[in-house]
Amino acid sequence: MPLLYPSILFQERALGFAMGGLVGMGVFMYQQREIWKSTAGLAETLSGGALPPPRAVQTPPPILGKEARDDLAHVWNSTIDKMFGSLIASLSSKGW
């Protein structure tokens, strides 16, 4: 019969592991924030306070046009219907 409630030792180890992970994640995030702050401060100092504005990021155009996406969606849906149609019909007949 499996244990529904693990031993105290296991619970303590699991709690220690979880707490250690959380503390480690907190330290990591704090260090990342400090690195970004120091980098921004250094850039501000080196540029003399005249940083250029960031470049605008252009989103790439869609790979497929609207008609091709509609055709792909239709083919996908019909394939799923062919593959799982009998399963859906049998589950529907059983009242699921």
Task: Note whether 79 and 87 are within 8 A (CB).
Answer: no
What's the pLDDT score for residue 52? 80
Q: What is the DSSP string of 38-71?
A: HHHHHHHHHHTT-PPPPPPPPPPPPSS-HHHHHH
Q: Are residues 41 and 3 in the same domain?
A: yes
pLDDT at 1 over 60: no
Going by pLDDT thresholds of 50, 70 and 90, the confidence category of residue 96 is confident
| Cα–Cα distance for residue pair 72/80, rounded to 1 Å | 12
Per-residue pLDDT tens for 33-81? 999 999 989 988 888 878 788 889 999 998 999 999 999 999 999 999 9
Going by pLDDT thresholds of 50, 70 and 90, the confidence category of residue 24 is very high
Q: Are residues 2 and 42 in the same domain?
A: yes
Domain of residue 11, residue span = 1-48
Q: Provide the number of structural domains found in the chain.
A: 2
